[in-house]
Amino acid sequence: MPSQTAPSESMRPVGVRRWLTPAHAHYATLALAFAFICWYGRDQWFYYDEWDFLTTGGLDFLAPHVGHWSTVPMLVTQALVHTVGLHSYWPYLVLVILVHVGLAHVLWRVMNAVRVQPWIATALALVFALYGAGADNILWAFQFGFVGGILCGSIAVLLADGLTRENLRRRAPVIALIMLLGLMFAGTAVPLVAALALLALRRVGLVRAVIVAGAPTVVYLAWYLFAKANPSYSMPTQWQPDSAGQLLIDVPLYAGRMIVGAFQGLSPLPFAGLVVAVALLVFAVATLRRQWRAAPLALAFALAGIAFGLLTGFSRLNIDPALATSGRYLYFVFAMAVPLCGVALTALCALFRSRRRVALAAVLAVSAAVGVWGALGIRQHSAEMAGIELPTRAVVYAAASLIDDPAVTVDDDAYVEPLYAPTLTVHQLRGLVDAGYLDVGEFDQAALDLAIKNIVPASGGDE
């Protein structure tokens, strides 16, 4: 009888089968998503809030921006202004695309940590990378702060999943510093502090959880109280509910619309968002005890998404209830739901014991279709914003050409483009031009006419 021997090295899978692994596919698809987003970001330019940080004058780096602690994006923007100037939008845009793709990778690692089926984890990471409903956070460089806060907070929560009583002294300071960095990006890290606290509670107990989550919280509260007490700072007026019923009904409804909208952004099918949101809620409730034991990390991220919806509802309901379905908010909620979605889909495939591969193939096919829909959303958003930002650029260029024209008198306090660059004054534009940070580019007669209308007093131009 011939002896049984172990397969030789040459008999093991080679070529395509050896390299076509979920991990390799993940890195390849992230690279493709990055290239795709860059391609459709080629016609973007500086827009709206960005002009708050694009100045040659001194910025107060502790000042809040619409209530957010924005020290990091302020510093980064100023560094870019003083090195590469405003000659190209690419240095600014690439940063937000990188942190977005980085967040997709962190979510993939989170799904691996909670034992999501590897191919499902790879597919969902790509779906998030191409989440068209949140394209505002992907194609607008200003959202570097918004997404950066989510990224740092997510990294801190992921690291907290490995906390033990033995490594607490070594790992806790790192986690606290990363979370604090996230809070200095934007308030989007605040809900992730709750996720950090929940996960630390599960891993190392109540007292140690308070220590881990408490350090960045104390620093953030100190900044918040400082900002509220400073009369020169502008902090949003907090909404005051008229009744307990309004607080207990309207705010949760606001958060509910946000959560359903996050899933509706995955598909053009009517009510698909509601169906997915309800199905995920039922799964979470039905398996809560098991998930708390086996996958508390996924629950912690889901908690952060819910907390974000409630906090945003409390602070923004007085502005406009329709903002609940703003793309930037849907982006956050969907990001936080991705790990739990992966856990649910893995459990669903496991139900089909004899046809598990068929079920997996079906999940991957649906994910591919959702990814295509998201890519179309990114393309559409790119075109819509280019239709706004390129004409704005032309007006800014036209205004820059008028500044040094001896035949024209301009009002230094006038706003160059009040609609889409509402804080950019002629004085600020002059500073950028004089410092060599902004060159005069191409513009047409329509842009010149609008620039004259905006910055030249009625009697200040050529007669």
Whether the predicted pLDDT of 241 surpasses 70: no
Question: For the whole model, what pTM was predicted?
Answer: 0.92
Residue 240 has what pLDDT? 60
Helix 244-264 / helix 296-316 crossing angle, nearest 10 deg:
120
Whether the predicted pLDDT of 336 surpasses 70: yes
The overall average pLDDT reported for the chain is 91
* The dihedral sign for the CA sequence 122, 123, 129, 133: negative
Interval 320-345 mean pLDDT: 93
Residue 154 has what pLDDT? 98
Which pLDDT band holds residue 5 (cuts at 50, 70, 90)?
Answer: very low
- Of residues 45 and 318, more confidence is placed in 45
Interval 106-127 mean pLDDT: 98
Residue 1 has what pLDDT? 44
Domain range summary for the chain, segments of one domain joined by +: 22-387, 388-455
Number of residues that make up the chain = 463
| Tokens read off for 54 | 């694009």
Instruction: For residue 421, list its beta bridge partners.
Output: 417
Query: Are the beta carbons of 113 and 158 closer than 8 angstroms?
Result: yes
Which pLDDT band holds residue 234 (cuts at 50, 70, 90)?
Answer: confident
Residue 137 has what pLDDT? 96
Query: CA 338, CA 13: separation in Å to the nearest integer?
Result: 32
Residue 314 has what pLDDT? 82
Residue 3 has what pLDDT? 46
Q: How many Å separate Cα 101 from the centre of its chain? A: 10
Whether the predicted pLDDT of 11 surpasses 50: no
Query: CA 352, CA 360: separation in Å to the nearest integer?
Result: 9
Whether the predicted pLDDT of 225 surpasses 90: yes
Give the Å distances, CA to CA, from 381 to 37, 138, 399.
Answer: 11, 10, 27
Following DSSP, what letter does each residue of 174-230 receive, concatenated? Answer: HHHHHHHHHHHH-GGGHHHHHHHHHHHHHHH-HHHHHHHHHHHHHHHHHHHHHHHH-
Residue 9 has what pLDDT? 43
Cα atoms found within 13 Å of the Cα of residue 403, Cβ hemisphere only: 25
Which pLDDT band holds residue 13 (cuts at 50, 70, 90)?
Answer: low
At 61-116, the pLDDT tens digits run 999 998 899 999 999 999 999 999 999 999 999 999 999 999 999 999 999 999 99
Percent of the chain predicted with pLDDT > 70 = 93
Percent of the chain predicted with pLDDT > 90 = 81
